[in-house]
Amino acid sequence: MKKTVFGFFILIATLTTVTAQMVGNWRGTGRQGIYQETGLLQEWPVGGPEMLWAFEQLGAGFSSPTMSEGRIYISGMEEGTGYIYVLNANGNLENKFPYGPEFPGEGYPGSRNTPAVVDGMIYIVSSMGRLVCLDASTGRTVWQLDLFNDLDGRNIRWGLTENLLVDGDRIYCAPGGRKHNIVALNRHNGEIIWSSEGTGEVSAYCSPLLVSHFGQNLLITHMKDHIVALHADSGRVLWKYNHENRWDVHPNTPIYHEGSIFAFSGYGRGGVKLKLDPTGNLAGAEWTSRELDNQMGGAVLVDGYIYGSGQNNRFWFCIDWETGDRIYRTRDIDKGTVIYADGRLYCYTERGQLALVDPSPESLDIRGQTDITLGSGQHWAHLVIDAGVLYVRRGNALMAFNISR
pLDDT of residue 106: 78
Strand locations in 191-343 (E): 192-196, 209-213, 216-222, 226-231, 237-242, 255-257, 260-265, 270-276, 282-289, 299-302, 305-309, 316-320, 326-330, 336-341
Taking residue 120's Cβ as centre, other Cβ atoms within 10 Å add up to 11
- Whether the CB-CB separation of 97 and 134 falls below 8 Å is answered with yes
Strand, coil or helix: 20: coil
DSSP letter for 60, please.
Answer: B
The Cα–Cα gap between 266 and 252 comes to 9
Domains identified in the chain and CATH numbers: 2-7+14-402 (2.130.10.10)
Please give the average per-residue pLDDT across 56-84, as a whole number.
97
Strand, coil or helix: 164: coil
Q: How confident is the model at residue 1 (pLDDT cuts 50, 70, 90)?
A: very low
Strand, coil or helix: 30: helix
**pLDDT, tens digit, for every residue of 71-85?**
999 999 999 999 999
pLDDT of residue 287: 98
**pLDDT, tens digit, for every residue of 153-179?**
999 999 999 999 999 999 999 999 999
Residue 26 vs residue 349, higher pLDDT: 349
**pLDDT, tens digit, for every residue of 264-293?**
999 999 999 999 999 999 999 999 999 999
Strand, coil or helix: 29: helix
pLDDT of residue 107: 81
User: In b/e form, how buried is each residue of 95-108, taking b as 16+ CB within 10 angstroms?
Assistant: ebbebbebbeeeeb
Q: How confident is the model at residue 17 (pLDDT cuts 50, 70, 90)?
A: low
Please give the average per-residue pLDDT across 354-375, as a whole number.
97
Q: Could you tell me the pTM of the whole model?
A: 0.94
pLDDT > 90 fraction of the chain, expressed in percent and rounded: 92
